[in-house]
Homo-oligomer: A and B are copies of this chain.
Amino acid sequence: MARMKKETGIQESLMGLIHQYKKNIRHAVNARELGLTGMHVRVINILARLPKSEATANELVKLLGRDKAQIARLLKELIFNGLVTKQENPLDKRSQLLVLTEQGKQLTQTIKQAEQQILAQMQAGLTPEELSLFNQITLKMMNNLNR
């Protein structure tokens, strides 16, 4: 990708960054032969961060900001691959708790390692303050649009 200039617009900068990031993740995951896609990785990551590594599908829909049909399919695949299991949700008979299996949890370490490498490269030369500010602005923009 051409070295992007400032005048191109902030949205193009963002598109370029995300595309590059996703590409790096995909290559890292493929290189480790994990048999996962980018979205699988994201679901696993989200679950790994949650208390007890569990959430309902609807919670994942909200956390990932994706359509429930897509989330259902991703979960179905992760369940099929033994990385996630379903458990009864005592609070609501319509839903189940999606939980990382032991296999899923172990995979998390591999994924984390790969991600950290890419993030480190991406953030090279930036101070903690810059990164913090960047993240804050990102969140603010997202929330601005999400209303």
**Which chain A residues have a beta carbon within 8 Å of chain B's beta carbons?**
1-4, 6-21, 24, 42, 45-46, 49, 59, 62-66, 115, 118-119, 121-126, 130-131, 133-146
Q: Are B134 and A2 in contact (CB under 8 A)?
A: no
- Partner pick for A15 among B4, B10, B18, B118, CB 8 A cutoff: B18
Q: A1-B63, A10-B131, A15-B42 are in contact. Are A121 and B145 (CB under 8 A)?
A: yes
Identical chains bound together, number: 2
Q: Are A145 and B130 in contact (CB under 8 A)?
A: no
Q: Are A140 and B115 in contact (CB under 8 A)?
A: no
Q: A65-B16, A130-B137, A134-B10 are in contact. Are A144 and B124 (CB under 8 A)?
A: yes
